[in-house]
Structure 1
């Protein structure tokens, strides 16, 4: 029986064949994921394809939870997005730029004056969102998850590891904590509330995408694991707690279904509009999904990542993380550490999401993501 919220999902359903997606290639992907689960690589996963504003496929695999009693993954299961969250948080900043509240060229300190401490006065919003701000290793204490004044002070106290703009180096959490503080300074609202009311709910995804998971939704959340010996999986206690789920860590704590992420990227492919709502402008989508860092290597990954202002771009280098080696040069998206990738291909109108619930170490994670994304690209018929 369909879930009560399914009628409101913003994408109508269509078959892969109707949307010019090759069932044989999709079947090979399904077989590969089923083999991964049978081999004990991860407990569960979920995938979704969408094209031209329609949902072609949404499928769940394996277990959402394995202890104390196994629970099957269903199409209603919510998966920890890890850094896929960054693009959703960045979208709230894009919307504020579209509304004239700030510019990407603004210094963060123009809007959060105390951010100027410790040599950060000239760091721009552009620097932060393209991972060039110079404080990649800064973090956030758990006490700040519920204390937004402490969150702001912590961000303002960040110190530099190197001169802003001189390097590209992935800011795993610091950039988007900075974005959260900026959103709150500009709106006077909790960043999670702003993201929800100005991005997620207008898209019709209010029951399938969360930055800050309400306690009432925790039963739908897949546990996140990491591999242990002989195909076993241990729970990552720090990411499965109720506090962590509620926190909505802006660079790594969102939850969603795969079809919600495919729909979010359909909004971008549609020039910032979905479900009758315009979230950002077409010009904004064009700007934030460009390659702003060229072929400069991201020192965290030892390869060019072609950073946009939220997502990263495939480009034309021989290697790329997660987006698929054979993907079109304009394909853009983001991943979640050791677990997932979501992307959009503006040449074909296809968006794809793959979410899983075990944080797999390298190099296997990147290898499997290249295989999965290549199979997704191989399914696309012109």
Structure 2
């Protein structure tokens, strides 16, 4: 249902057709999208095996939940962007080969992916408890001086953020996310930690073929590309309830498109007054890192936890498509999950899918197409 005619029906038809084509061709077993405005979902649609209540793994879109908690703690004075990680986690990096650099890492470095430890290892069973996580972190090392280079940290940075949250709050980060974000906002369709283990989540399915050497050579001038820890096999492992239960802070959430769209309405409008207006504006709008992203070659445009579209003509390279405003902010997730909120229109948009596309070139093209059509559907809103 498109409430009050707030969306452009012609553009919506194009969006529906694109998603339905992906489903009909077998490239996408299940999908959902949702638009929200003025604190309400104005349109949600499901495709393939999905229904309106189907939960999806949202992967790195989870990072926005962690950011929401951090912003509250900053406003309360418990943390600050310049807080050194070691002020909160004294053992951090003390046993590794670069203890001096590890001692320089701040919360801002952590949230802007400039800390210098993008592939620091942490997995089962060590990720099960705070004690074992912090013991592993004591041996981490930097690969560059903090603050001098941007490289996306798929999970490591947000494990640090989560441990800082736990240390400040003296309780598990999963409980903090629930008590500070999900429960106050009534977000029953956004699930994190233990509840995600028992939730019925649509299964992830790896599809397609990795890019050929010829494709890679034509597009990038190289024949191989290292995806690091974000591989289809690792992503599909989130089908396991035990992995979802851990509450991986950079990747472990599950949600419906509607639920996540409502969270971004809270970020757009400070629903419930959960945040200091100044800190919220900073977190959703102040770009603190413009160093180039080595994956794309364009400015990373990182805030304390999110990505901002900006007016440099490179919004498409940041996963939001070229049709959102320069003020749009968001954080996508692996597998083609698209999530943004646009202060200019007041709309938030979320697209979720169970397909894990092995060809990241195909995935990038799909994200661009869907995000672009969604942005056009929100412009303009007739009064």
- 1:28 is displaced (CA, Å) by 1.1
- 1:23 is displaced (CA, Å) by 1.5
- 1:203 is displaced (CA, Å) by 0.5
Instruction: Show the counterpart of 2:221.
Output: none
Separation of aligned partners in 2, 1:288 and 1:19: 31
Give the number of the structure with larger relative contact order, counting CA–CA contacts within 8 Å between residues 6 or more apart: 2
Q: How does 1:341-380 map to 2 (within 5 A)?
A: 341-360=338-357, 361-380=359-378
Bigger mean CA offset, 296-305 vs 89-98: 296-305
- 1:303 is displaced (CA, Å) by 2.2
CA deviations 1:285-307 (Å, max 9, x no partner) are 21012343454211233322211
Instruction: Show the counterpart of 2:123.
Output: 141
1:94 aligns with 2:71: yes
In structure 2, the CA distance between the partners of 1:310 and 1:234, relative to structure 1 (3 Å rule), is closer
CA-atom RMSD, angstroms? 2.0
Gaps of 5+ in 1: 1-14, 63-71
Separation of aligned partners in 2, 1:295 and 1:186: 29
Instruction: Show the counterpart of 1:44.
Output: 30
Which structure's residues are more often helix, by fraction? 2
Given that residues 305 and 314 in structure 1 are in contact (C-alpha distance below 8 angstroms), is that contact kept between their aligned partners in structure 2? no
Total equivalences in the alignment = 351
Q: SS state of the match for residue 114, structure 1? A: coil
- 1:103 is displaced (CA, Å) by 0.9
Separation of aligned partners in 2, 1:251 and 1:126: 16
Question: Which of 75, 82, 87 is 1:105 aligned to?
Answer: 82
CA deviations 1:52-111 (Å, max 9, x no partner) are 22211111111xxxxxxxxx3111111001100011112111111111111111111111
- 1:26 is displaced (CA, Å) by 1.0
In structure 2, the CA distance between the partners of 1:85 and 1:235, relative to structure 1 (3 Å rule), is closer
Instruction: Show the counterpart of 1:31.
Output: 17
In structure 2, the CA distance between the partners of 1:39 and 1:191, relative to structure 1 (3 Å rule), is same
Given that residues 210 and 248 in structure 1 are in contact (C-alpha distance below 8 angstroms), is that contact kept between their aligned partners in structure 2? no
Instruction: Show the counterpart of 1:132.
Output: 114
Given that residues 213 and 255 in structure 1 are in contact (C-alpha distance below 8 angstroms), is that contact kept between their aligned partners in structure 2? no
Separation of aligned partners in 2, 1:144 and 1:366: 33
Separation of aligned partners in 2, 1:285 and 1:215: 27
Separation of aligned partners in 2, 1:294 and 1:45: 32
Separation of aligned partners in 1, 2:138 and 2:297: 29
Question: Which of 122, 137, 142 is 2:104 aligned to?
Answer: 122
Separation of aligned partners in 2, 1:195 and 1:50: 22
Question: Which of 294, 304, 307 is 1:309 aligned to?
Answer: 304
- 1:235 is displaced (CA, Å) by 10
Q: SS state of the match for residue 254, structure 2? A: strand
In structure 2, the CA distance between the partners of 1:217 and 1:58, relative to structure 1 (3 Å rule), is farther
Instruction: Show the counterpart of 1:214.
Output: 195
Separation of aligned partners in 2, 1:208 and 1:53: 15
TM-score normalized by structure 2?
0.87
- 1:236 is displaced (CA, Å) by 5.6
Bigger mean CA offset, 294-303 vs 360-369: 294-303
- 1:376 is displaced (CA, Å) by 1.1
In structure 2, the CA distance between the partners of 1:203 and 1:297, relative to structure 1 (3 Å rule), is same
Instruction: Show the counterpart of 1:339.
Output: 336
Separation of aligned partners in 2, 1:132 and 1:327: 26
- 1:159 is displaced (CA, Å) by 0.6
Bigger mean CA offset, 150-159 vs 26-35: 150-159
1:55 aligns with 2:50: no
Q: SS state of the match for residue 41, structure 2? A: strand
Given that residues 309 and 320 in structure 2 are in contact (C-alpha distance below 8 angstroms), is that contact kept between their aligned partners in structure 1? yes
Q: SS state of the match for residue 106, structure 1? A: coil
- 1:140 is displaced (CA, Å) by 1.0
Q: SS state of the match for residue 214, structure 1? A: helix
Instruction: Show the counterpart of 1:84.
Output: 61
